[in-house]
Amino acid sequence: MTRSNFSGPGSRLGIGTYTLFAGLFLFLSALALFIYGTRIETRRFRLEKLKVKSCRQLAKNDSGGNGQLPRTLRILHISDLHLQERDHKKVEFIRAITDDDYDMVVLTGDIFQFSKSFDFGPFLLSRKPRLGAYAVFGNHDYYDYSLVNKTIGRIFRGMRQPDIRKDVSPHRRALEAGGFTVLVNECHILPEENIFIAGLDYPGIKQEDLDVLMQKSDSLGEDQLKLALFHLPWRLERLTAAGFDMVFGGHTHGGQIRLPGFGAIITDSELHRSEASGLLKRGNTYFHISRGLGADPRSNLRLFCPPAATVIELSY
């Protein structure tokens, strides 16, 4: 007796029902992830803490030191705010974390998404840091990106950048009204503290301009601390060669979407996926790349990559 291979209507119905439920499950799972990634994780603002010993301080420790105790700066690093008119919760978070005793606050670009958010500028800092607050501009401060720029432009690089570069004078006025010193390929020197701070403009500074800027550090002593701010991680080896002790940047948003066991999918920069955010080292220079607190509202989706600001205790 042979077994029949006939599949009746019941079997076909079972397979069809299984396929339907599997498809529905996948759809609902994707929808849940989308809602979580756009409505929940993007609002889970964090304040993280990090301790860093400069390479100079490590060298002193290895050589037995010179009898002097190391100095420490408490620096708040915030980045990629992408402020919109309705971002009151984000501004409340920023005001809460700046209501503390910092030596310095650094803001590394992509600050105002739309002109109506300029009104937030004077209210970002609850307290003035002991040594000041410093800011640089990012690509979203200079350009309004279309969906074509953000999608097709990732494939065809000639369509990535908008043609019109915005005047950032209103951005500067809004930040200065809030107590920030804006640096556009400029430096700020704190002679009493022996600290040199450079602000490098988007997309990056030319080598000859960097050389001229670094000559201004000659007015300080040999044991000076050299800090820099930029938005886009670009040619980091130049900053290492310039002798910076620590540099602060943003732009990557930490990748926004990080897969468990894999990490960031993209960094939108020269950085490897493993360096999408956090503390990096090139030579004797440390770099801190912020995950940022926002993103372009049309692509503001985060998974396993919550927005963050960072308090850095830098010993030197």
For residues 72 and 157, state if they share a domain: yes
Distant-in-sequence, close-in-space partners of 138: CB < 8 Å, separation ≥ 6: 80, 108, 109, 110, 111, 202, 231, 232, 250, 251
The percentage of the chain sitting over the pLDDT mark of 70, rounded to a whole number, equals: 94
Long-range contacts at 166-173 (CB < 8 A, ≥ 24 apart): 166/141, 166/142, 168/137, 168/141, 168/142, 170/115, 170/118, 171/111, 171/112, 171/118, 171/121, 171/137, 171/141, 173/118, 173/121
Which tokens hold the place of 38? Answer: 């756009």
What are the two backbone dihedrals, phi and then psi, of residue 294, each rounded to the nearest 5 degrees?
A: -155, -165
The pLDDT of residue 66: 65
Q: What is the pLDDT of residues 192-234, one digit of tens each?
A: 999 999 999 999 999 999 999 999 999 998 889 999 999 999 9
Residues 35-56: pLDDT tens digits?
999 999 999 999 999 999 999 8
Confidence of residue 6 (pLDDT cuts 50, 70, 90): very low
Domain range for residue 59? 46-315
Indicate the residue type of 156: F
Same domain, residue pair 150 and 294:
yes
Is residue 246 within 8 A of residue 227, CB to CB? The reply is: yes
Q: Can you say whether residue 91 is alpha, beta or left, with left for phi > 0 and alpha for psi between -120 and 50 degrees? A: alpha
Total domains present in the chain: 2
pLDDT of residue 68: 75
In a domain, 97, yes or no: yes
Residues 97, 120 within the same domain = yes
In a domain, 143, yes or no: yes
| pLDDT for residue 151 | 83
Token couple for 221: 């002593």
pLDDT tens-place string over residues 68-96? 788 999 999 999 999 999 999 999 999 99
CA atoms within 13 A on the CB side of 71: 11
Q: Is residue 2 part of a domain?
A: no
Which pLDDT score is estimated for 147? 87
Note the pLDDT tens digit of each residue in 235-251: 999 999 999 999 999 99
Burial class (CB in 10 A: 0-12, 13-18, 19+), 216: middle
Distance of CA 28 to the CA centre of its chain: 32
Same domain, 11 and 76: no
1 within domain boundaries: no
Return d(Cα 294, Cα 43) in angstroms, integer.
9
Residue 84: inside a domain, yes or no?
yes
Q: Are 277 and 287 in contact (CB under 8 A)?
A: no
Same domain, 24 and 83: no
Burial status of residue 97 (CB atoms within 10 A of its CB: 0-12, 13-18, 19 or more)? buried
Q: Rounded CA gap, 302 and 308, in Å?
A: 12
Whether residue 201 is found in the same domain as residue 55: yes
Tens of pLDDT along 131-151?
A: 999 999 999 999 999 888 888
Same domain as 88, residue 215:
yes
Dist CA 278 CA 276 (whole Å): 7
Does one domain contain both 263 and 187? yes
Pair (39, 115) in one structural domain: no
pTM: 0.91
Q: Which residue has the tokens 């029949």?
A: 4
Q: Are residues 165 and 295 in the same domain?
A: yes
101 shares a domain with 37: no
State the residue for tokens 């996926």: 273
What is the domain-level CATH number for residue 53? 3.60.21
Interval 294-300 mean pLDDT: 92
Query: Is beta strand 246-249 parallel, antiparallel or unpaired with respect to 285-289?
Result: parallel
Q: Which residue has the tokens 């000076």?
A: 224
**In this structure, are 136 and 56 located in the same domain?**
yes
CA dist 252 and 268 (Å) reads 6
Task: Give the CA distances from residue 17 to residues 6, 30, 48, 126, in Å, rounded to whole numbers and listed in that order.
Answer: 19, 20, 48, 59
Bridge-partner residues for 182, per DSSP?
135
pLDDT score, position 10: 53
Q: What is the pLDDT of residue 238?
A: 97
The token pair that represents 159 in the structure block? 């369509």
